[in-house]
Structure 1
Amino acid sequence: MNVTRTAGRLVAHELRLLGGIVRWAAGRPHGVGAGRAFGYARGQGAMMFGFGFVCVLESACMAVLLRDHPAVHRVVLVLDVYTLLLVVGLHAASVTRPHVLEDAALRVRRAAHVDVRVPLAAVASVRRELVTTHERHAGWLDLAVGAQTTVTLELNEPVRHFTFLGRARDVRRIRFHADEPDALVRGLRERLALTRERTAPSPSPVRPGRPG
């Protein structure tokens, strides 16, 4: 059952990647709605182009090496093309699944495999912070792009995150990358201020005839 569930998750993930190519071509981001989108894929463009180039170069080399074995070459060619599609799909998913600042939550995402909705009530603080080395810590979630994160969220209560294979983790600090971190931090702080103002308790009424 675990093997079947894992295989199902892998297939679903690859379908989301391939669907990201269609969304990218159509200019239709996923899950933004009335929220405000913040991209994070700009920093990985050169790296993804490099991966794609390596895939094309490998396919060309294999075509030469297997020119006397057409049946094997066809199989390898299909695998090479599919690998290239997955590389393009990974970048497309990153472009079409941005972080989203909603009325009551911040949706932090990474391509098609991470999607964490953080309620604004759970955010203790947010800051612009460039981090280029990420050590593993219990309760921390690091979503680096190009080996760096630019925004740090501190939470006053844990938020549940599900890993790629479905394992549940409770996180209290989230570090992630945004192409425009200053704008995201400013927008989130403004939304937090409005949320706290709306939920602040009303002052107790003063009875007439008594000093306030």
Structure 2
Amino acid sequence: MIGRLIRHEFALGTSFLRWVARRGPHGVRSGDVVVPYASGQVAIMFGLLFASVVETVVLALIIPWPIVHAITLGLDVWGVYFVIALHASCAVRPHVIGADGSLRLRYGALLDVRIPASSIGAVRAQRKYVGSRFGAVDDEGVAAIAVAGETTVVVELTAPVRFVRVLGKPAEARAFRFYADDAAAAVAALAAAAALAAAAALAAAAGAAGAARPAGPAALRGRVGNAVESGGDSPVHSGP
């Protein structure tokens, strides 16, 4: 548990620095499609940030004991940083649709779920309020990765996918609900990636079958003819 919390803090810190430096999204390769989700929580994050700043100022004014004042001030400053870093990690760690049709669902530095293309059965846009059950799996095997308590896309799987929840508890889901800023674009990108991956797989299978097919008579005659022509061009040495 302690090790996982340390890794979370490190990931939050690196995400915050990436956000400040305006670098590109984390974990995105050439051909991948980024699916943002952070804008759906901007209002809530600003509300939390405002409350944290107000609390810091009020406690600094009413606490007379220097040691207690220093402790609470440190905790409040860390709280302000955590809110900013969490939102920053969500901005630089979006969902990712891989060029191979796979799907990577994330929530900042706290959650990371990888779904292979072969496990994706159906995708549709559907808005639903799921409350605060972040990463929880319901009785029907559906996991929710919500933003502001809402999800906008549903991914049904052909096989269960295992993942690790925020605090390290393992879980398994047969479907995922997640939030995307543009649900229709996310569904279209997933469908396009799946179609491209399927076409590439068919092309690879056809190429392998063609390479393994034995050469026919015409091909053999062509090879023999080429060999004869090559031999005719070489010098002929007569015996002594």
Normalising by the smaller structure, the TM-score range is 0.7 to 0.9
* Alpha carbons 1:139, 1:169 under 8 Å: kept: no
CA distance in 1, matches of 2:139, 2:73: 41
Q: Name the one with the larger helix percent.
A: 2
- Is 1:93 aligned to residue 89 of structure 2? yes
CA offsets per residue over residues 5-37 of structure 1, 9 Å max, x none? x11111211221122210111122211122221
* Alpha carbons 1:18, 1:86 under 8 Å: kept: no
CA offsets per residue over residues 44-69 of structure 1, 9 Å max, x none? 00100110111110111111111x32
Q: How does 1:59-70 map to 2 (within 5 A)?
A: 59-66=56-63, 68-70=64-66
Structure 1 gaps of 5+ residues are: 1-5, 206-212
Q: What is the match of residue 196 of structure 2?
A: 194
CA RMSD of aligned residues (A): 1.9
Q: How does 1:1-212 map to 2 (within 5 A)?
A: 6-28=1-23, 29-34=25-30, 35-66=32-63, 68-104=64-100, 105-133=102-130, 136-200=138-202
Tell me which amino acid in the other structure corresponds to 2:76: D
Runs of 4+ in 1 over 3 A off after TM superposition: 197-202
| Structure (1 or 2) with the larger CA radius of gyration | 2
CA distance in 2, matches of 1:133, 1:36: 26
Offset of residue 195 of structure 1? 2.2
SS at match of 1:156: strand
CA distance in 2, matches of 1:198, 1:74: 61
Structure 2 gaps of 5+ residues are: 211-240
Offset of residue 138 of structure 1? 4.9
* Alpha carbons 1:19, 1:89 under 8 Å: kept: no
% identical aligned pairs: 37
CA offsets per residue over residues 146-191 of structure 1, 9 Å max, x none? 1110010000011111112333222110000000111111011011
Tell me which amino acid in the other structure corresponds to 2:77: V
CA distance in 2, matches of 1:194, 1:17: 34
SS at match of 1:47: helix
SS at match of 2:26: coil
Higher relative contact order (CA 8 A, sep 6+): 1
